[in-house]
Amino acid sequence: MNTIITGSLAIDRIMNFPGAFQEHILPDKIHNINVSFNIDDLQEKKGGTAGNIAYTMSLLDEKPKIVASAGSDFGIYKDYLDSLDINTSGIEIQQEVTTASAYIINDQHNNQISGFFMGAMGVETTFYLQEMDPKETILILAPGNKGDMLRYSQQARDMGMKYIFDPGQSIPFMEPAEIKKVLDGAYILIVNDYELEMIKKRTGLTEEDILHQVEMLIVTRGKEGSTIRLKDVSIDIPACPVENAVDPTGAGDAYRAGLIKGIAMELDLEQVGKVAATAAAYAVEHYGTQEHNFTVSDFCTRYKDAFSETCPIQ
């Protein structure tokens, strides 16, 4: 199975706030908000949705192709992806701008406030899915350039290629009609519970409406696990136990990498969800989105310990 990942490539600047956001935000003054947080730690990490998903997929012995725009400062990051045997031929360098940048503040309760500089991500890519065999390829539309998301979803529909719609941070920037258009015919919509409510509010669709447009709806809920829904069945997936939760940033992308691995191996949906949950647990335990590491043997041992069954990917 070939995997195409469209989305962002970014440099993450992750900051820790040693307090709670809720103690500094006054609900009755939300219309005129003015807050400042004293940060006690700042680290710069490689990130972006496409890079994060591809990284964890490489740990799972998958070799995805990234399709995204990056800036003139991307050389070191590209060399790093190449060293992981990730296909970077679909990354287009925009020499006139820098790579996108994310600025993320986490509080002591793992809540996040983020800002994002588009940079090169504002430039649409020129890849054509027609180069790929639609029966042997799965496409994931991760948060990134909106034009790419709209164009590649249309190409995939025209070709009969399965695609995963992962709108995430792109939801506020998409018009309701655009969200509905990408939803229509998607293989999977994957969102966290907050993002699902945003989609419902912006589009007026119910979960049942969504399930008439997509084959599968996957909703993640952090430590509460996740749910895989089809029209006639709902499967609750428990979270994989985490030894020490350090940073939630990137856990969703790791989950998506495990999801794609399970789909590529044609596992049953419960196994797919558990592989995804195990991948997410590794990311939570490390500061940054591409700092976790494991062998497939390590992964299978953790899966068996968590779910009391043999790991299906060994």
Token pair in block for residue 165: 């719609």
Residue reference for tokens 């399709």: 67
What pLDDT shows up at residue 245? 86
- What residue type is 191 in one-letter code? V
Residue 267, CB half-sphere, CA atoms under 13 Å: how many? 21
pLDDT digits (tens, 9 = 90+) for 106-157: 898 878 888 888 999 999 999 999 989 999 999 999 999 999 999 999 999 9
Specify the DSSP element, H or E, that contains 240: none
Residue 279, pLDDT > 80, answer yes
pLDDT digits (tens, 9 = 90+) for 32-52: 888 889 999 898 889 999 999
- Mean pLDDT for the chain? 94
What pLDDT shows up at residue 12? 82
What are the sequence ranges of the domains in the chain? 2-22+40-307
| Closest to 139 (Cα-Cα) out of 187, 182, 81, 173 | 187
Token pair in block for residue 143: 């948060």
Asked if 8 and 169 touch (Cβ cutoff 8 Å), the reply is no
What pLDDT shows up at residue 131? 87
| Closest to 212 (Cα-Cα) out of 181, 185, 175 | 185
43 versus 221: which is more confidently predicted? 221
Which residues, at least 6 apart from 189, have a Cβ–Cβ distance to it below 8 Å?
Answer: 164, 165, 167, 183, 210, 214, 216, 217, 218
**CA–CA–CA angle 45, 197, 107 (5° rounding):** 35
What pLDDT shows up at residue 302? 97
What pLDDT shows up at residue 204? 97
Spatial distance between the Cα atoms of 229 and 156, rounded to a whole number of angstroms: 22
Residue reference for tokens 């589009």: 203
CA distances from 255 to 116, 230, 232, 246, 281 (A): 22, 19, 24, 16, 8
Class in CATH terms, 2-22+40-307: alpha beta
What pLDDT shows up at residue 24? 87
133 CB-contact burial (10 Å; exposed 0-12 / middle 13-18 / buried 19+): exposed
Average pLDDT over residues 277-297: 94
Ranking 1-10, 71-80, 112-121 by mean pLDDT, the lowest is 112-121
What pLDDT shows up at residue 64? 97
The edge-to-edge listing of strands for the beta sheet with 100-106 is 41-47, 10-16, 100-106, 112-117
118 DSSP 8-state letter: -
What pLDDT shows up at residue 13? 84
| Closest to 10 (Cα-Cα) out of 103, 86, 106, 95 | 103
DSSP string across 12-47? EEEEE-SS-GGGT--GGGGGG-------SEEEEEEE
What pLDDT shows up at residue 26? 80
Average pLDDT over residues 211-240: 96
314 versus 284: which is more confidently predicted? 284
Asked if 106 and 14 touch (Cβ cutoff 8 Å), the reply is yes
How many other CB atoms sit within 10 Å of the CB of residue 13?
16
Could you tell me which residues are beta bridge partners of residue 164? 140, 188
- What residue type is 275 in one-letter code? V
What pLDDT shows up at residue 109? 85
32 versus 263: which is more confidently predicted? 263
